[in-house]
Chain A
């Protein structure tokens, strides 16, 4: 038998704490680390997943439903599945993306909640104490929420489109190869991610979910109609195309509505909205007491 050569102190103190010089050197706050933190925050909340799944379900469900209602209409009239007249006057692409308005609101709320839930729970103080360079928190949140929304909304929009067209059937449907269709489908996917960032910015500006969601509704849904009512015609023509939802309509529909910007200009206007609001939120975040 051999005597095993072991440490006479078999249970040497496990190293605890972070006081070693190597630890100290490695504990800097960096943007990738703040992004990692925001990723942990996002993925660890059940509400994140519920919201994402709802957005996808609404997109695909509403699109299919709208297509099915139209297709069914045709079937009862013509006796042949998927006749043309039902989609008459309605753009088949728009029909299959009927859920995009509501899905946008849901993703916008996802963006709102990503910030306001930190304020309502008090978590924001822990967050900002950990990351005193506050802009990087907002930037990291934007990157995580924007990327997640994009990764979910683009494929979901595509699926909604394909499902809708399949339901409409041959003759009544369009394909991605038709003029303007691909731009509208992918444009809608990107617009949905943009709405999530809009929500994030409003959440960071207003810090309360109710106010921010309200503002989101006003900006996306009410403003286009309300401004049309209160503004003189000449102002209306000048201002309305620059509202986020109208600016987006230039690249989310196959045939943009009259009086709207070109697709490129519309996209640029939307980017200005998001960058402007996020920039304002970043300035306020740095200035205000947490």
Chain B
């Protein structure tokens, strides 16, 4: 478990992280989301003791990172793909790290195999592609078979096959009961693998929520209903907190504020036929954009809302 307690970090005039607190629980994959420059990498560096917070503290299983006797066995971190000397081979890179804490050589072969780099283990890492470098970084993170796995933008540079591989890997790590914490600036990437989300913007916590809750909270659930007696159905469903929109198609209703099952039950009770009942979720992308809209660090000064965003905001 990672416990972040009121950490603040400033670089000169810039406050990178501002009184940030959250916990990352074991057994699930937690996504760490925020626009570029929102303080994700800084927070991750503070978790593994590379940067020191100006205030607050980070505990890993109730102990500061620097006080763990076998840090690589406690936390495995991929902080940037290229934390690798280009002159060393993948094997030598892992060997140097393994040696610090007495990790046996069989484990080096094991992780190389796990990330699919066995065949190029003796090649200079400088000749690796972005994706191979990323895999080597992941191998280094898993080297100590750690309880806590922290990956900064793990999907970067991976091909679709690699993305599927890492998804399965992260799921299996979480299923082992490990704490898995991955960052991304793209919610679409994270939503596919994470169960829980920590969203930050400008170094502050915006949301600490499950993926499903975030969707509900940010958008409200809309159900597309088709019925030959749409007009009668609309009257039946009309209620406090329920929005019903009708489009060009007279048989179709967009109902927000009622679950599909409730709409079905009410239609049945009123004896009205229903031909389709389709829950349509406002995309997470839109939900995320809406949440972080005010905290985009490097956006154009007067960012005109995209048509999609506008639709969400005007709802």
A, B from the same assembly = yes
| Complex: chain B residue closest to A43, CB-CB | B92
Q: Which residues of B contact A23 (CB under 8 A)?
A: 73, 145
- A10-47: contact bitstring with B at CB < 8 Å (1 yes, 0 no)? 00000011110001101111100110110111001111
Selected contact of A122 from candidates B51, B83, B99, B100, CB within 8 Å: B83
Q: How far is the CB of B300 from chain A (nearest CB, A)?
A: 30
Contact between B85 and A130 (Cβ–Cβ < 8 Å)?
no
Q: Indicate whether B87 reaches chain A with its CB closer than 8 angstroms.
A: yes
Option from A28, A121, A129 in Cβ contact (under 8 Å) with B69:
A28
- Alpha-carbon distance between A130 and B77 when the two chains are bound, in angstroms: 10
Asked if A125 meets B83 with Cβ closer than 8 Å, knowing A18-B73, A27-B70, A289-B52, the reply is yes
- B1-59, CB < 8 A from A: 45, 48-52
Find the A residue at minimum CB distance from B49: A132
Interface: B101 (CB within 8 A): yes
User: Are A29 and B100 in contact, with the CB atoms below 8 A?
Assistant: yes
A33-B99 in contact (CB<8A): yes
Is A126 an interface residue, CB under 8 A from the partner? Answer: yes
Q: A27-B144, A28-B69, A28-B70 are in contact. Are A16 and B110 (CB under 8 A)?
A: yes
Q: Which residues from chain A contact B48 at a C-beta distance below 8 Å?
A: 129
A37 CB contacts on chain B under 8 angstroms: 96-97, 99-100
Contact A129 B85 (CB under 8 A): no
Contact flags A119-131 to B (C-beta < 8 A → 1, else 0): 0011111111111
- Which residue of chain B has the shortest Cβ distance to A126 in the bound complex? B83
Contact B100 A34 (CB under 8 A): yes
B140 at the interface (CB under 8 A from A): yes
Query: How many angstroms from the CA of A127 to the CA of B71 in the assembled complex?
Result: 11
Residues 73-110 of B contacting A (Cβ, < 8 Å): 73, 75, 77, 79-80, 82-89, 92-93, 95-97, 99-103, 107, 110
CA distance A168 to B82 in the complex (A): 53
Rounded to whole Å, the gap between the CB of B238 and the closest CB of chain A is 58
With A27-B102, A28-B101: A125-B79 Cβ-Cβ less than 8 Å: yes
Q: Please pick, from A28, A30, A33, A123, the residue contacting B85 in the complex, using a CB distance under 8 A.
A: A123
Q: How far is the CA of A55 from the CA of B70 in the complex (A)?
A: 38
A133 within 8 A of B: yes
Q: Which A residue sits closest to B67, measured CB to CB? A: A132
State the CA gap A133–B68 with chains docked (Å). Answer: 10
For the complex with contacts A121-B85, A127-B97, A133-B66, 17 further pairs of A-B residues with Cβ separation under 8 Å are A16-B110, A18-B103, A19-B145, A24-B70, A28-B102, A29-B70, A29-B101, A40-B95, A41-B88, A117-B85, A125-B79, A129-B49, A129-B71, A129-B79, A130-B72, A130-B101, A290-B51
Please report B residues at the A interface, Cβ cutoff 8 Å. Answer: 45, 48-52, 65-66, 68-73, 75, 77, 79-80, 82-89, 92-93, 95-97, 99-103, 107, 110, 140, 144-145
